Amino acid sequence: MTAPRALTIAGSDSGGGAGIQADLKTFQELDVFGMSAITAVTAQNTLGVHGVYPMTPQAVAAQIDAVGQDLGVDALKTGMLFDAAIIEAVAERIQSFGWNRLVVDPVMIAKGGAELLRAEAVEALKKHLLPLALVVTPNIPEAEALTGMKIATMNDRREAARRIADFGAAMVVIKGGHAVVETQKREKQLQVVDLVYDGSEFEELVGERIDTRHTHGTGCTFSAAVAARLAAGSDTREAVRTGRRFIQAAIEGAPALALGSGHGPTDHAAYRRSRKL
């Protein structure tokens, strides 16, 4: 029997905490064979993004074709796509291969503020990619950009999830890492809540909020874990729940890595280690 296979279509992070590097580590940790199509190379470390060097849409499509025509793909995710031409090429290849276990992480801006998706490409994302998605995983600023809404409360988040589902994604997960407004009266936030919407029901995945600056690549890692579980045959809801457990362990383990002098990477091996205890 063939090993489960997952493809990431995303940018390269030279620092190893986000992008393709985070995705491949996560696939490996979850016993899934990882493959990649690189959309852009970034010169990046824990202090920020120092350069962005995009590939041509043709080069991205050629990588996808090479993988799809030979190795095969059970599930895939997209991350940094950079511009509308790359988005269109990626969507066209996904449709042509008929891949439907697709996780779209609508990466837009890095935590340090660097633009990883051109502002004018948000429309292309909505039009070409979201209709193909089994799961879409915006953080709060990304959900605001997709919907044009300001998100301050959990009700706002539910409304944003409904609007994003209307673009065609089967399941929407609005991640709560950036949610500070609702709890600003408390000195410290104790929880992080990811809101899951399947087109009819809402579920809140509640976790302990880890007080750390080492959260570089959390969104990439979470969506890669979801894609890995989908590749292994999980249903969508189980895949999202495992993704949440995976990123929680990775963030808990991040301070011990003690890498870099800025926003350090998470520990991609922590989930596997925790399961051996």
Ligand X SMILES: Nc1ncnc2c1ncn2[C@@H]1O[C@H](COP(=O)(O)OP(=O)(O)O)[C@@H](O)[C@H]1O
Ligand Y SMILES: Cc1ncc(COP(=O)(O)OP(=O)(O)O)c(N)n1
Question: Which of 181, 96, 171, 76 minimizes the C-alpha distance to 130?
Answer: 171
- The answer to whether 150 touches 113, Cβ cutoff 8 Å, is no
How far apart (Å, rounded) are the C-alpha atoms in residues 44 and 117? 16
Q: Which two tokens stand for residue 60?
A: 């991205």
**Nearest CB to ligand X, comparing residues 76 and 250:** 250
How far apart (Å, rounded) are the C-alpha atoms in residues 135 and 104? 6
CB of 263 to ligand Y, least distance (A): 6
Q: Which does 19 bind (CB under 5 to 8 A by kind): ligand Y, ligand X, none?
A: ligand Y
How far apart (Å, rounded) are the C-alpha atoms in residues 218 and 253? 12
**Nearest CB to ligand Y, comparing residues 14 and 166:** 14
CB of 107 to ligand Y, least distance (A): 5
**Nearest CB to ligand X, comparing residues 75 and 116:** 116
Binding residues for ligand Y (CB under 6 A): 10-11, 13, 18-19, 42, 44, 79-80, 107, 110-111, 116, 215-220
- Residue 219 annotated in active site: yes
φ and ψ at 257, to 5 degrees?
-70, -35
- Residue 148 annotated in active site: no
**Nearest CB to ligand X, comparing residues 11 and 68:** 11
State the Cα angle at 8 between 32 and 132, rounded to 5°.
Answer: 110
- Residue 243 annotated in active site: no
- Residue 68 annotated in active site: no
Say which residue the tokens 């986000």 belong to: 18
Say which residue the tokens 């990883």 belong to: 116
Binding residues for ligand X (CB under 6 A): 139, 175-178, 192, 194, 207, 209-210, 215, 218-219, 222, 244, 247-248, 251
CB of 1 to ligand X, least distance (A): 31
- The answer to whether 271 touches 221, Cβ cutoff 8 Å, is no
CB of 179 to ligand Y, least distance (A): 15
- Residue 242 annotated in active site: no
The catalytic residue positions are 175, 215, 217-220
